[in-house]
Amino acid sequence: MAMPITSDIPNSAEEILSQQFHAPSRSADIVGKLLLLIVSILMCIGIIIVYSGGAGWAMKKFSSTEYFLWRHLLFSMLGIAVIGFVGRLDYHVFQKTSKILLLASIALLMLLLMMKAVHLISGAARWLGFGPFRFQVSDLAKYAVIFHLSRLITEKGEYITDLWDSYLPMLANLLVVVFLVALAPNFSTASLIGIIGFILMFIGGVSIRHIFMTALPLLPLALAFALAAPYRVARLISFFSGDEKAMSYQVVQALIGLGNGGLDGRGIGNSMQRDLFLPLSYNDFVFVIVGEEYGFFGAVAVTALFAGFLVCGIIIAKHAPDGFGRYVAAGIAIAITFFAFINIAVACSLLPTTGVALPFMSYGGSAMIFNSLGVGILLSISGYRKRQLRKAEQLSSETQLLKITPPNDV
């Protein structure tokens, strides 16, 4: 008697999915939606704050109080589009292209330095592009490092603690990017990329002894590099002096703004510091406008939103389908939250001035697009099992159709 031709075909979508993955948890779906809600709220607050904080500066520079508003609104809409597009992609595409992205970012960083050497760029060599279509190369480099380190950590597996075959290749990739970004010069971003890279390697299981032995020579070198630039020395002196008269103008105005806010703030659009007192009130010091207009409660609420973002990212990393997804999710969550809390700490004079923007809220298209890319990847990771289940259900329905459809007679 002939065997049925469908005997080896799974009977359900869940059975198909279980061959490679566990069933998607309801918590992962909820966390993904919560993450999207948090980012949407931050973007909406950012649009209001950029308009409020930048109206005076926009009028002075561009003769229009709404200049920053419309551009930031456009950046936010593009960011939402990026989140929607990337969230539906298979995040493994970044695993396959991680080496290309890393090499491309290194090449672009070197190109910036060469353009600066021949005086095609004056000042810091950070931006590449033409006219309004420019992006900060360090943003690309940051994500390229996260992708490639996550790929290497996943591939090394049980050899992750090996010095020559595991740690040193990862360290070399990280330090090349950090060194090139620092030469821009962009010491603060270079330091943050380095810290994120070491945290990612630590999470991945790299020997803590190797990291410690690397830190011993790197920390003095980083300090020497920081002290080599007079403006960085001035920032450090003003921060550690403890003398109010020695504080920089930006820090003084930022503290005044936060003090003006009190507990419940002066109200939307009623900031006093935005009227040409606080430089970059629509960018690096946007959190000051939050504190002044929404008060202590508003500032705490924004801080809590970023804390919630970190928690969502960690949960997504914990429930990721594979190692690459786990480390990428952790790296992105740490990177975005780290930049946010550094910006907030600078605004509150808890750290020296660094020039780090507040994710999703500070004015700027490059940071908005790349941070939105990170959110899209987090959503892609959190929804991966669900998308696989849908594919399996479709396959299962087609299989059932084959079972009940008799073959055509020849």
**What amino acid occupies position 224?**
A
**Nearest to residue 264, comparing CAs of 306, 297, 232?**
297
Residue-by-residue DSSP string for 374-395: HHHHHHHHHTHHHHHHHHHHHH
Let me know if residue 369 belongs to a domain. yes
> In angstroms, rounded to a whole number, what is the distance separating the alpha carbons of residues 36 and 167?
35
> In angstroms, rounded to a whole number, what is the distance separating the alpha carbons of residues 354 and 336?
16
Half-sphere exposure of 334 (CA within 13 A, CB side): 22
**What is the reported pLDDT for 3?**
42
Q: How many structural domains are present in the chain?
A: 1
| 318, containing H or E segment | helix 286-318
Let me know if residue 314 belongs to a domain. yes
Q: Is the peptide bond before 185 cis (omega within 30 degrees of 0)?
A: yes
Cα angle 362-368-369, degrees, rounded to a multiple of 5? 170
Let me know if residue 407 belongs to a domain. no
pTM of the model: 0.89
Let me know if residue 193 belongs to a domain. yes
> In angstroms, rounded to a whole number, what is the distance separating the alpha carbons of residues 370 and 176?
21
Let me know if residue 181 belongs to a domain. yes
Residue-by-residue DSSP string for 174-206: HHHHHHHHHTTT-HHHHHHHHHHHHHHHHHHT-
Q: Which domain holds residue 218?
A: 24-386
**pLDDT tens by residue, 160-206:** 888 888 999 999 999 999 999 999 888 889 999 999 999 999 999 99
> In angstroms, rounded to a whole number, what is the distance separating the alpha carbons of residues 205 and 246?
44
**Nearest to residue 327, comparing CAs of 316, 338, 336?**
316
146 and 195 in contact (C-beta within 8 Å)? no
> In angstroms, rounded to a whole number, what is the distance separating the alpha carbons of residues 164 and 143?
24
Q: Which residues of 291-326 are buried (b: 16+ CB within 10 A; e: fewer)?
A: bbbbbeebbeebbebbebbbbbbbbbbebbbbbbbb
Q: Which residues of the chain have pLDDT under 50?
A: 1-21, 410
